[in-house]
Amino acid sequence: MGPALIVVIVLVVLIILFIIMTYNRLVSLREQVRNSWSQIDVQLKRRHDLIPNLVETVKGYAAHESKTLEAVIAARNAAMGAQSMGDRQQAENMLTGTLRSLFAVAEAYPNLKANENFMMLQEELSGTEGKIAYSRQHYNDVVNVYNAAIKMFPASMIAGSSGFTQEQYFQMEDGERSVPTVSFNG
Amino acid sequence: MNYSANPERQPVGDVRHIDPQGAYQPPPRPAAPWIFEDQIAANRRGTFLLMFVFTLFLVGIVWAVSHIYDPGSAYLLAGVAAVVAFFLSFFSFYNSDKIVLSMSGAVEATKEDYPFLINTLEGLTLAAGMSNVPKAYIIFDSAPNAFATGRDPEHAAVAVTTGLLEKLNRYQLEGVLAHELSHVADRDILLSTVAAVMVGTIVLLSDWVLRSMWYGGGRRRRSSRDGGGNALLLIIALVAIILAPIIAKLLQLALSRRREYLADAHAIKLTRYPDGLAGALEVIANDTEPLEVANKATAHLYISNPLHEHGGWLNSLFDTHPPILERIARLRRM
């Protein structure tokens, strides 16, 4: 065996090792993306689960706000039925909006606001919305790392030939941290 | 009483029967991409080094002291001390969080009484991609402060004072919790908690020896017929005993000051809202109440020095924390 042959063999082995390692790294990153997506999923489902109870409670005090209540239920059902990422984003945003208007309506009912059950539902819902935001932030962080990894050369060659595709970010409005609009007129 | 984090918020009742689908069970979470692995390794090394130094120190003190009282059995006593120190190290490795929590009079917080605290802690662990939510503890003290403890993220606890919950708004409390969670994720808590227990032991021990020598040792030394060799040992023993608390203190400082900046920076990675933590530090800085449950052994654990020993360059040399105004300034620049 000549020295040239040995060099070729060593090079081939090194290249194969590199491919295996890169592939495994990409698999683990993709797994992280899926895993962190399921964290958002848990929180979104939790929010869906809280809504029937909330609607029932509000009904007891503000029955003639049925329009707002129906909007919340419709948005919840739409969110639960949504399949694709884009549809879900849209439906969940819609749900956030209707919930916000429900709590705005509730401001006019002091008895409802003082209701123990309502208060803890409100607390639990805002806690869950917070967790949706936190897990979404983590998901987007992980997607960012993954997307960058499969785009970078030479990993991009391996990613392209073994079916690693860009993952979508999960966008949701969160008005929580935007500057509150305070009105002094009414 | 209402310990909510927001003056407008009302106390919240039982939330256990909200979820008709059964208990909330999150799936396993991926590792956080932002945690520095080398930071964790360094903290682990530091902990073992600390345990080693502690054992050595204890053995040295016992050997020196027993030379004064009874030179014949010095080696035997030193051997006993080595065994005791070894077990004490292991004991504090596994139990220091409980010791520190009970030293501070902390009680576990329930979700029924502190829903926002628990929810935020759970949310931040989601943002950090950590697989375990630290237990939350409450210290009934009106001075606003907080600390984290535990040997790893699976056995971690975050303690906050009722003063913190009363004086901060929600974003500020979120910032403080994120800061504490960063200490958990980076394993700062292991090192600092073990340090708290060991420094406490050393200070207590040297205090005790110093006192017993003051009242009884001198008399016995004079009655013994030993030559100049023992006088030298006596000096060594005295120096060791006097230096013990100072060394312990310096050790503690090395551990804590730089970590605070790092934990501040990591906290902002979690909350994406520097003003929250900066505002919290401002509230804490402007508060002059001392934290009664804190002492020299546990001071370095807290988010801000609870003892309020300010002033003088010599004092600042011995500070466990960087100046809070500098921390606020750094946060405001982010």
**Spatial CB neighbours of B325, under 8 Å, sequence gap ≥ 6:** B285
Q: How far is A8 from chain B (nearest CA, A)?
A: 36
Each residue's pLDDT tens digit, B181-216:
999 988 888 888 887 777 777 777 777 766 766 665
Closest residue, chain B, to A140 (C-alpha): B127
pLDDT for the residue numbered A168:
87
Q: Is A138 on the interface with B (CB under 8 A)?
A: yes
Cβ–Cβ of B128/A117 closer than 8 Å?
no
Report the share of chain B in percent with pLDDT over 70. 70
Q: Is B166 on the interface with A (CB under 8 A)?
A: no
Q: Is B15 on the interface with A (CB under 8 A)?
A: yes
Sort out which chain A residues have CB atoms less than 8 A from B122's CB and list them: 127, 131
Report which secondary-structure segment, H or E, holds B106.
strand B106-108
Q: Is B220 on the interface with A (CB under 8 A)?
A: no
Q: Across residues A110-126, what is the average pLDDT? A: 90
Q: Across residues B227-231, what is the average pLDDT? A: 57
pLDDT reading at B157 higher than 90: yes
**Spatial CB neighbours of B181, under 8 Å, sequence gap ≥ 6:** B121, B124, B125, B128, B130, B134, B148, B158, B267, B270
Number of continuous H segments (helices) and E segments (strands) in chain A: 6, 0
Q: Across residues B121-137, what is the average pLDDT? A: 92
**Spatial CB neighbours of B311, under 8 Å, sequence gap ≥ 6:** none
Q: B180 catalytic, yes or no?
A: yes
Length of chain A: 186
Number of continuous H segments (helices) and E segments (strands) in chain B: 11, 4
Each residue's pLDDT tens digit, B57-99:
778 777 777 777 777 777 888 888 888 888 877 887 788 888 8
- Based on the number of CB atoms within 10 Å of its own CB, is A59 exposed (0-12), middle (13-18) or buried (19 or more)? middle
Chain A interface, best mutation among B3, B18, B35, by max A CB count within 10 A: B18
pLDDT reading at A135 higher than 60: yes
Q: Across residues A163-178, what is the average pLDDT? A: 72
pLDDT for the residue numbered B182:
92
- Residue A60 CA from chain centroid, whole number: 32
- Picking from B18, B29, B126, the nearest residue to A121 by CB comes out as B18
The rounded distance, in Å, linking the Cα atoms of B163 and B294 is: 14
- Tokens representing B304 are 């801000």
Query: How wide is the angle at C-alpha B317 spanned by C-alphas B304 and B96, nearest 5°?
Result: 50
pLDDT for the residue numbered B280:
94
- Residue B102 CA from chain centroid, whole number: 12
pLDDT reading at B41 higher than 80: no
Pick from B130, B183, B185, B156: which is nearest to B303 by CA?
B183
pLDDT reading at B109 higher than 50: yes
**Spatial CB neighbours of B258, under 8 Å, sequence gap ≥ 6:** none
* Beta-sheet pairing, B135-139 with B156-161: parallel
Each residue's pLDDT tens digit, A44-88:
999 999 999 999 999 888 878 888 899 999 999 999 998 888 888
Q: What's the complex ipTM?
A: 0.79
Each residue's pLDDT tens digit, B8-37:
433 333 333 333 344 443 444 444 444 456
Taking all residues of chain B, what is their mean pLDDT, rounded to a whole number?
75
CATH number of A32-170: 1.20.1440.20
Each residue's pLDDT tens digit, B255-304:
666 778 888 888 988 888 889 999 999 998 888 888 877 776 777 788 88
Cβ–Cβ of A134/B126 closer than 8 Å?
yes
Chain B interface, best mutation among A32, A42, A50, A120, by max B CB count within 10 A: A120
Q: Is A110 on the interface with B (CB under 8 A)?
A: no
Q: Is A159 on the interface with B (CB under 8 A)?
A: no
pLDDT for the residue numbered B231:
66
Cβ–Cβ of A124/B15 closer than 8 Å?
yes
Cβ–Cβ of B13/A117 closer than 8 Å?
yes
CA dihedral of residues B83, B84, B89, B95 (deg, nearest 10): 130
Report which secondary-structure segment, H or E, holds B150.
strand B146-150
Closest residue, chain B, to A29 (C-alpha): B30
- Tokens representing B181 are 């969670």
Closest residue, chain A, to B272 (C-alpha): A137
